Chain A
Amino acid sequence: DTEVTQTPKHLVMGMTNKKSLKCEQHMGHRAMYWYKQKAKKPPELMFVYSYEKLSINESVPSRFSPECPNSSLLNLHLHALQPEDSALYLCASSARDRVSEAFFGQGTRLTVV
């Protein structure tokens, strides 16, 4: 199983809503990532979790709150977002001690209205 599964695939939310994005992998990877991607741009790193601990936060606003409840699951909690936060949110995972490629999910297309 070399899949990273992200849900939902599409999400429309108002600026006062609270929602969560979910990411799951069963490859035994101990590093998991959240990226934000705007149209026609490369992915931008947001957060890195290593062994379920947050190891990198790329100065992301607090309205984005990551969570890693276990080694297979990664969540991104969203609250009070702005229209400019509309983007594709990609989750990825990779092996930590033997570097291999990162495996990406299909992403969640988020629209903030």
Chain B
Amino acid sequence: AQTVTQSQPEMSVQEAETVTLSCTYDTSESDYYLFWYKQPPSRQMILVIRQEAYKQQNATENRFSVNFQKAAKSFSLKISDSQLGDAAMYFCAYRRKFYGGSQGNLIFGKGTKLSVKP
């Protein structure tokens, strides 16, 4: 069974600084997807960034980038130029690819609560 581990329950960053959130996962599959979701107090889970396992290039979305180390099964999120609006719970998630009748439900880590100090 696949598992996702986020070892940092809470993190704090100064506004405009850079912070890295850690995530490791365990799987025996070679092809899958990894995601970082953000959940602010408004409750809605918002996709921050995604990575396809067969792509070696690290995904980037504006101020958000990942360091994907497939062999080490590591998937960290870097937030540059942190803003007050980045304060939220961040969940790392794994999803297997669909093949035939399989279902691609998400497997979540326990989350990291990020605080941004002005």
Give complex CA distance A55, B105 in Å: 11
Give the interface residue-count category, chain B.
Answer: 20 to 34
Q: Count contacts between A and B, CB distance < 8 Å.
A: 59
User: A88-B43, A104-B45, A106-B44 known; A45 and B105 CB under 8 Å?
Assistant: yes
- Closest Cβ neighbor of A49 among chain B residues: B103
Q: Is A11 an interface residue (CB 8 A)?
A: no
Give the interface residue-count category, chain A.
Answer: 20 to 34
Give the residues in chain A near B108, CB-CB below 8 Å: 42-43
Contact of B42 among A43, A90, A106 (CB under 8 A): A106
Give complex CA distance A104, B104 in Å: 14
Give the residues in chain B near A43, CB-CB below 8 Å: 45, 91, 106, 108
- Closest 9 pairs (CB-CB, A-B): A42-B108, A104-B45, A106-B44, A101-B47, A107-B43, A48-B103, A99-B104, A45-B105, A99-B98
